[in-house]
């Protein structure tokens, strides 16, 4: 009887062990519940999109791209702005999420959209609009954006706002924009006997200047270009635009770069690399590589957006004084882009109103938020980075004035860029796939001394046409 009793008591223990293991395994496998994001205490306000948010409405907004702790000054300003915003909207909680590194990393962004785990207000680039719409990830906020909710709406440059529209509907509000220009290293320009206040304006001038700079020796390259990770195709596109060319035709269905302009771009690059030896030996570069080179006085020039300057100063230890910026050589068109916030599809009208109110205050008010240049200067942040026109009219006048008054860098170094705006042009359709094909053109030109340019362009044309056939 004693023996029988012992056997019976062990069985429940085994069952308990199995249950415990199962629960542990479930925890170890990372099962998690998902928060639907709805605030249980939310009060319903007016659903009329043209009516501003009632300050008594309780709303919690999740938003990404809040500066991380490592960016202490920007984070301080973010919190100050939230506090000031809450004076008008005391019941709106801005729940910021920050990310170390870049706010938008394509792989993570894609996964976020697939999982529909984006916050209520999420950061994107202009070029991400098709992807976001394909995943049905953004709300149409056209009805919510009007002179009452965004007082300076009329002063936002049309090409900036246009980047966020699809079939007449508005899907986001802009944060900043950029156009590509020619970034130069002023020290190397002076060393080579060139005037850093007069950057090259034509590709022939680029070639001549690059040759002089490369003659300094010690591994210095005069001009640099990308040719890997789809960035080579991106810059080939920019060079085509600069000469008035196109990469894809107006219908969006045919390659348009295998022409005289395409040959001109290709031949110029090949000549700089192999005849002048002015582009350095190391190729297959991508974003980040040229910045390191120019920041360490090993590169004279490359095509860049102005925000590269801030990156090089803040991350790579360079000095603003050592850089200058001119318009993109050729000057016919330039590649344009920018950043913006979108609003998650499916959230409540009150949340959308709160999102528009916050974005208006933080990003679209001259003298406030990101445009408070006096505060930025006091906090040790860069003021005066050259920018293409974001504002028009009175807003532009006021903003430019404040920017110049509180500049923390020699804005004269960027005068050539600011004084000679080049019309911005959007990326081609299926941009990354087209860039991937054109990468082969760039890498062929820069790594193959005996490259057959006609063949490279013809092969790429055939391949881009294949890519465009699947739309």
Partner 1 sequence: MPALSTAPRPTAPPRTDPPARTAPLATALRRNLTAHGFLIGAVLCFAVFSWYPMVREFLLAFQKTESGRTTWVGLDNFRTVADDPAFWQAWGNTLLYTALALLLGFAVPFVAALVINEFRHGQGYLRLLVYLPVMLPPVAAVLLFKYLYDPGYGLLNELLRFLGRPEQQWLQDPDISLLAVVIASTWMNMGGATLIYLAALQSIPGELYEAAELDGAGLLRKIWHVTIPQTRLVLSLMLLMQVIATMQVFVEPFLLTGGAGPEGSTTTVVYLIYQYAFNFNNYGAAAALGLMLLVLLAGFSAAYVKLSRAEDE
Kindly tell me which of 30 and 317 has the beta carbon lying closer to partner 1. 30
Whether the CB-CB separation of 424 and 334 falls below 8 Å is answered with yes
Kindly tell me which of 29 and 69 has the beta carbon lying closer to partner 1. 29
Kindly tell me which of 29 and 250 has the beta carbon lying closer to partner 1. 29
Kindly tell me which of 13 and 250 has the beta carbon lying closer to partner 1. 13
Could you give the CA distance from residue 164 to residue 169 in angstroms, rounded to a whole number? 8
Could you give the CA distance from residue 201 to residue 300 in angstroms, rounded to a whole number? 15
Kindly tell me which of 5 and 87 has the beta carbon lying closer to partner 1. 5
CB of residue 97 vs partner 1: minimum separation in angstroms?
21
Kindly tell me which of 247 and 407 has the beta carbon lying closer to partner 1. 247
CB of residue 390 vs partner 1: minimum separation in angstroms?
28
Kindly tell me which of 41 and 471 has the beta carbon lying closer to partner 1. 471
Kindly tell me which of 194 and 437 has the beta carbon lying closer to partner 1. 437
CB of residue 283 vs partner 1: minimum separation in angstroms?
5
CB of residue 10 vs partner 1: minimum separation in angstroms?
7
The contact set with partner 1 (CB under 8 A) reads 7, 10-11, 14-15, 17-18, 21-22, 24-26, 28-31, 106-107, 110, 114, 131, 133-137, 219, 227-230, 280-286, 345, 430, 432-433, 436-437, 439-440, 443-444, 446-448, 456, 462-463, 466-467, 469-470
CB of residue 206 vs partner 1: minimum separation in angstroms?
22
Whether the CB-CB separation of 292 and 234 falls below 8 Å is answered with no
Vertex 428: Cα angle to 424 and 432 (nearest 5): 120
CB of residue 87 vs partner 1: minimum separation in angstroms?
38
CB of residue 99 vs partner 1: minimum separation in angstroms?
17
Whether the CB-CB separation of 327 and 183 falls below 8 Å is answered with no
Q: Which two tokens stand for residue 69?
A: 């702790």
Strands 334-343 and 121-125, bridge-based pairing:
antiparallel
CB of residue 3 vs partner 1: minimum separation in angstroms?
9
Phi and psi (nearest 5°) for 169? -100, 145
Could you give the CA distance from residue 406 to residue 131 in angstroms, rounded to a whole number? 38
CB of residue 86 vs partner 1: minimum separation in angstroms?
34
Vertex 77: Cα angle to 76 and 80 (nearest 5): 90
Kindly tell me which of 5 and 11 has the beta carbon lying closer to partner 1. 11
């Amino acid at each position: 009887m004693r023996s029988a009793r012992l056997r019976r008591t062990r069985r429940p223990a085994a069952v308990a062990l199995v249950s415990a293991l199962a629960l542990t395994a479930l925890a170890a496998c990372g099962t998690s519940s998902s928060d639907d994001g709805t605030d249980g205490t939310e009060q319903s306000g007016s659903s009329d999109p043209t009516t501003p948010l009632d300050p008594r409405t309780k709303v919690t907004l999740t938003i990404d791209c809040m500066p991380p702790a490592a960016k202490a000054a920007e984070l301080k300003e973010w919190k100050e702005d939230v506090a000031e915003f809450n004076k008008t909207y005391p019941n709106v909680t801005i729940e910021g999420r920050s990310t170390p590194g870049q706010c938008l990393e394509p792989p993570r962004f894609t996964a976020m959209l697939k999982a529909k785990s984006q916050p209520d207000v999420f950061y994107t680039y202009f070029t991400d609009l098709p992807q976001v719409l394909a995943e049905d990830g953004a709300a149409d906020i056209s009805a919510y954006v009007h002179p009452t909710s965004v007082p300076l709406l009329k002063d936002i440059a049309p090409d900036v706002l246009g980047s966020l529209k699809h079939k007449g509907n508005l899907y986001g509000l802009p944060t900043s924009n950029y156009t590509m220009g020619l970034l130069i290293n002023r020290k190397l320009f002076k060393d080579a006997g060139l005037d850093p206040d007069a950057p090259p304006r034509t590709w022939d001038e680029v070639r001549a200047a690059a040759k002089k700079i490369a003659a300094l020796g010690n591994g210095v390259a005069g001009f640099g270009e990308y040719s890997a990770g789809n960035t080579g195709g991106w810059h080939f596109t920019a060079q085509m635009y600069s000469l008035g060319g196109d990469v894809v035709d107006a219908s969006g269905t045919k390659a348009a770069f295998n022409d005289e302009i395409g040959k001109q771009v290709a031949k110029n690059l090949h000549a700089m690399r192999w005849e002048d030896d002015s582009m350095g030996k190391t190729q297959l570069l991508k974003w980040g590589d040229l910045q390191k080179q120019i920041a360490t006085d090993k590169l004279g020039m490359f095509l860049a957006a102005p925000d590269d300057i801030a990156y090089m100063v803040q991350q790579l230890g360079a000095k603003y004084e050592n850089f200058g910026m001119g318009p993109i050589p050729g000057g016919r068109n330039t590649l344009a882009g920018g950043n913006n916030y979108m609003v998650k599809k499916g959230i409540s009208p009150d949340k959308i109103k709160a999102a528009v109110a916050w974005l208006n205050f933080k990003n679209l008010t001259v003298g406030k938020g990101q445009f408070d240049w006096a505060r930025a200067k006091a906090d040790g942040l860069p003021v005066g980075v050259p920018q293409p026109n974001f504002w028009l009219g009175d807003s532009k006048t006021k903003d430019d004035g404040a920017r110049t008054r509180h500049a923390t860098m020699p804005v004269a170094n960027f005068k050539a860029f600011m004084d000679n705006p080049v019309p911005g042009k959007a990326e081609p359709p299926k941009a990354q796939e087209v860039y991937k094909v054109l990468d082969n053109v760039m890498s062929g030109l820069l790594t193959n001394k005996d490259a057959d340019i006609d063949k490279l362009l013809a092969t790429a044309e055939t391949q881009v046409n294949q890519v465009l056939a699947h739309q």
